[in-house]
Structure 1
Amino acid sequence: MQSTTNKISVGIIGGAGYTAGELIRILINHPMVKISFINSSSNAGKQVSEVHDDLFGECNLTFSSKPILDVNVVFLCQGHGKAKKVLEENEFSDSTKIIDLGNDFRLHADADFDGKSFVYGLPELQRDKIKKSNYIANPGCFATCIQLALLPLAKAGIIKNEIHVNAITGSTGAGQNPSATSHFSWRNNNVSVYKAFTHQHLGEITESLVSLQSSMNYDINFIPVRGNFTKGIFGSIYTECDLSVEEATELYNNFYAEHPFVSISEKGIHLKQVVNSNKCILHLEKHRNKLLITSIIDNLVKGASGQAVQNMNLIFGLEETMGLKLKTVAF
């Protein structure tokens, strides 16, 4: 348990991107955190609020050129594939916790690196393991949205057919560096499919479901969609299921009863209910023999930085919701 008088010293590496900006926004208002450094090699010496101008008037920190190696926890917010290089080049204290927001350590085959064993950081799946771990692989945004829609079915062992997923994400999911498909003039008033059936998050989704239901060897047919909005993921997931909607709702309510950020709505849901929050909201419908689960999250909060802070809270014995009671945009 973290002392209530000693704040957690935090470092952030890769501080200029969208996930880092969201992380800073959360951490500067966290009552048990002191940000010791925010590293960005390309912005060293600049005020953080020059890059993240939503923090103007709230944050007077300056980007550093090098990390501090003896902080309590480091968040790695660099692009996918870069975390291993950071750990190879920087010898952090043995007591420093590492939370990687990239995909370097999410799969079982990649979890052990340089004497460090990373735990997959989906609290609703393995909260107890997270509490005992020093190294966390934060889940992907699509993976979080889709897994939270399916975990109760896998836990009950009742996934008995292939799964169909259509999920649309905001432009911030593509990262801060501009590309042809994130440029405003292309993205605005436009929708497109990408990485159909091959998205990189399928691996972690499958591993989590199999950990709960060993017989889960069915295809997950995932169609990711680029949306013409900035934040959020709206996932529509369906599969064959013998449960009535009332039975399914009871199953989901029981599964998430002790998990503060997941709620089951009896009414249809919409994306603005979760944007800027660490919530996931699920809605269940039954259509003939198919169960439809709609799942919504903010891709940068519950799908990235908020979940990372949730993991930090668990590691340090804090209230899981501390610093994460965030208001949605609502309208």
Structure 2
Amino acid sequence: MKKINVGIIGGAGYTGGETIRLLLNHPYATLTFVHSRSNAGNPLHATHPDLLGDTSLYFTDTIQEDVDVLFLCLGHGESKKFLQDSPIPSSIKIIDLSQDFRLGESLPGRNFIYGLPEINREQIKQAKNIANPGCFATAIELGLLPLANAGILKEAYTTGITGSTGAGQKLQETTHFTWRANNISAYKTLTHQHIKEINQTLRQLQPGFSGNVNFIPWRGDFARGIYVSSCVTVDLPLDEIKKLYHNFYKGHLFTFVADNGMDLKQVVNTNKCLIGLEKEEDKLVVHSAIDNLLKGASGQAVQNMNLMCGFEEDAGLKLKSIVF
């Protein structure tokens, strides 16, 4: 299969680093440049030391246009500004990992498809521009979408815990080791930026959904991964609910229903989402877990690239190598 050329804008952060690692090992992609104004002229391994010996690429502050796909691994608000300020040819496919285009925003000549393959696979295959979903949004949506598809989703009460990499590479008090170690805290209670994205996606399958996803995110004492638990009221018996979930995700390569329990280590260093279901009386609890840097960011971005370019959906994403 013919290889494509790809580039990265914003390669110094966590998502940039993960995207570099995936693309360096992708069977059908050649990483031709990684853009970073603050690191221009430095080898990639100066910022990502684990890449020593894996690539001879240097960061650059120039934008190369001889690529087929461009990944934007920029901060929120920066992707839109970059595309407005930079004359990127319309022939180059864009995959944006920020939140700038997730709610239907567009630019002249560029309309973005929401890049959640479990509901938009066919649109992604035809798309020129992708808005990659948020990490918490991915985990929560994949946990609730089968209920929305059946038209039975009601008010949801969700708690989710994320590793420190979810806050980005820039050092903050709450990402410092001495603060995170042996510590848990809530933040952005009921106001997290992914809530609008989640509600929009749920209403794509259940237009009449008028409830809320009441979301409380937690900071966890670990580096990577997201574990979410959503409580909803459902009258169906658990066996029927499990059938709904198995049928909904049949044919999807990365989302699985775990019938015998689940834990976070099962998904770390994978592009998987695992879903667990528990029920007492009319209360259903949906657990969902992902690696926030992979299925929640760079892995899903590469999954979208595979679909856009006609590759196997899991190309370059067969990742699991360790458990402990």
TM-score per shorter chain, which class? Answer: over 0.9
Write the deviation string for residues 229-286 of structure 1: whole angstroms up to 9, x where unpaired.
Answer: 0000000111000121111111100000011000111111110000011000001111
Partner residue of 1:199?
A: 192
**Count of paired positions:** 324
Deviations for 1:135-155, whole angstroms, at most 9, x for unmatched residues?
000000000000000110000
Partner amino acid, structure 2, of 1:56: L
Q: Which residue of 1 aligns with 2:219?
A: 226
CA offsets 1:66-105 (integer angstroms, 9 cap, x no match): 1112310000001000001111222112210000000000
The TM-score normalised by the length of structure 2 is: 0.98
2:185·2:218 contact (CA, 8 Å) conserved in 1?
yes
Check whether the contact 1:70–1:92 (CA below 8 A) recurs between aligned residues. no
1:165 paired to 2:158:
yes
Q: What is the match of residue 36 of structure 1?
A: 32
Per-residue deviation, residues 94-120 of structure 1 (Å, max 9, x unmatched): 210000000000002x2x212210000
What corresponds to 2:275 in structure 1? 282
Q: What amino acid is aligned across from residue 24 of structure 2 in structure 1?
A: I
Return structure 1 stretches of 4+ with deviation > 2 angstroms.
Answer: none
Is 1:246 paired with 2:242?
no
Alignment partners' CA distance in 1, 2:29 and 2:123: 22
Aligned twin of 1:150: 144
The counterpart of 1:137, out of the listed 127, 131, 145, is: 131
- The correspondence for 2:208, drawn from 203, 215, 219, is 215
| Worse-matched range after superposition: 54-63 or 211-220 | 54-63
- In the alignment, structure 2 segments of 5+ residues that lack a partner are none
Find the counterpart in structure 1 of residue 6 from structure 2.
Answer: 10
Separation in 1 of the partners of 2:132 and 2:7? 16
For residues 175 and 328 of structure 1, what CA distance do their matches in structure 2 show?
Answer: 24
Distance in 1 of aligned mates of 2:284 and 2:13: 37
Q: CA shift at 1:330, angstroms?
A: 1.4
For the residue of structure 1 that corresponds to 2:57, the secondary structure is: coil
Q: Which amino acid aligns with 1:47?
A: P
Would the aligned equivalents of 1:274 and 1:297 in 2 still touch at CA under 8 Å?
A: yes
Which of residues 302, 313, 318 in structure 2 aligns to 1:320? 313
Alignment map for 1:37-116 (pairs within 5 Å)? 37-108=33-104, 110=105, 112-116=106-110
Contact 1:271 1:296 in 2 (8 A): yes
Question: CA 1:298/1:316 → structure 2, altered by over 3 Å: closer, same or farther?
Answer: same
- For the residue of structure 1 that corresponds to 2:15, the secondary structure is helix
Match for 1:143: what amino acid? A
Q: Please tell me the root mean square deviation across aligned C-alpha atoms, in Å.
A: 0.9
SS in 1 for 2:302: helix
AA matched with 2:78: K
Amino acid of the residue matched to residue 98 of structure 2? G
Letter in 1 for 2:148: A
Indicate the percent of aligned positions where both proteins have the same amino acid.
54
State the one-letter code of the partner of 1:188.
Answer: A
Alignment check: 8 A CA contact 2:90 2:109 kept:
no
Question: Shift of the alpha carbon at 1:328?
Answer: 5.2
What does residue 121 of structure 1 align with? 115
In structure 1, distance between residues paired with 2:90 and 2:217: 39
Aligned to 2:173, the other structure's residue is in SS state coil
Structure 2 residue matching 1:286: 3-state secondary structure: strand
Superposition pairs of residues 260-299 of structure 1, within 5 angstroms: 260-299=253-292
**Unpaired segments ≥5 residues, structure 1:** none
1:258 is matched with 251
Q: Using structure 1 for the length normalisation, give the TM-score.
A: 0.96
Q: Distance in 2 between matches of 1:22 and 1:244?
A: 41
Query: Counterparts of 2:102 and 2:321 in 1: how far apart (Å)?
Result: 28
How far residue 19 of structure 1 moved from its aligned partner, in angstroms, is: 0.4
